[in-house]
């Protein structure tokens, strides 16, 4: 499930603003530039070593930079994820990694973007859920996918 070049599922590099900031991938305005861990903290005026609880606290304290950073991240996620949802027709978005602890403050604006942009949202709004404390949900999912193949046909793996 890696795709031909190994980049399948790289939602962080969906372009949400063609005139946005330059990304490490060489593109401009990728989701990652707005919702990446270091970048959202910097936009909120926090140190790169800050934890998600510090961003949540700044957001709850109505700090303008934190509010703007969370809003920008939610908008970028909504635009990027809606593109993926429209292509793949999936019913659920799972926020994991550094976004999981921020889900409660991201969710209202993220869900508003999804309601506006997902084609099927008039009758089926995508659900936004979070992972557990698993900081590597993609790796865990890939491992389960491989394990399902082994269980389905163990002889093929001998």
What CATH number has the domain bearing residue 62?
Answer: 3.30.420.40
- Least confident among 6-10, 25-29, 107-111, 139-143: 139-143
For residue 117, give both structure tokens.
């942009």
Rg over alpha carbons for the chain, rounded to the nearest Å, is 17
56 within a domain of the structure (yes/no): yes
Taking the whole predicted model, whether its pTM rises above 0.85 is answered as no
pLDDT at 119 over 80: yes
C-alpha distance from residue 132 to each of 55, 140, 155 (Å)? 19, 11, 33
- Domain total for the chain? 1
The reply to whether 33 falls in a domain is yes
Task: Tell me if 93 sits within 8 A of 85, measured CB to CB.
Answer: yes
Residue 3 lies in a domain: no
Average pLDDT over residues 122-126: 89
* Mean pLDDT, rounded, of the chain: 88
> What is the Cα–Cα distance from 120 to 88, expressed in whole angstroms?
12
Q: What is the pLDDT of residue 1?
A: 55
Tokens 């795709």 -> residue: 3
pLDDT at position 133 over 70:
no
Structure confidence at residue 153 (pLDDT): 81
Task: Specify the pLDDT at position 9.
Answer: 73
Q: What is the pLDDT of residue 66?
A: 97
Q: Containing domain of residue 26, as a range?
A: 11-133
Which residue matches tokens 């602890």?
A: 101
Burial class (CB in 10 A: 0-12, 13-18, 19+), 67: middle
């Amino acid at each position: 499930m890696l795709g031909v070049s190994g980049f399948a599922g790289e939602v962080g590099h969906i372009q949400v603003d063609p005139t946005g900031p330059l990304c490490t991938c060489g593109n401009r305005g990728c989701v990652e530039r707005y919702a990446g861990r270091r970048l959202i903290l910097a936009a909120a005026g926090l140190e790169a070593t800050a934890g998600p609880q510090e961003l949540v606290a700044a957001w709850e304290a109505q700090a303008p930079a934190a509010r703007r950073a969370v809003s920008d991240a939610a908008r970028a996620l909504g635009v990027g994820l809606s593109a993926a949802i429209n292509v793949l027709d999936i019913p659920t978005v799972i926020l994991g990694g550094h976004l999981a602890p921020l889900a409660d403050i991201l969710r209202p604006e993220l869900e508003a973007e999804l309601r506006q942009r997902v084609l099927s949202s008039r009758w089926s709004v995508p659900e936004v859920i979070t992972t557990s404390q698993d900081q590597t949900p993609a790796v865990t999912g890939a491992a389960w996918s491989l394990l399902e193949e082994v269980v389905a046909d163990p002889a093929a793996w001998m």
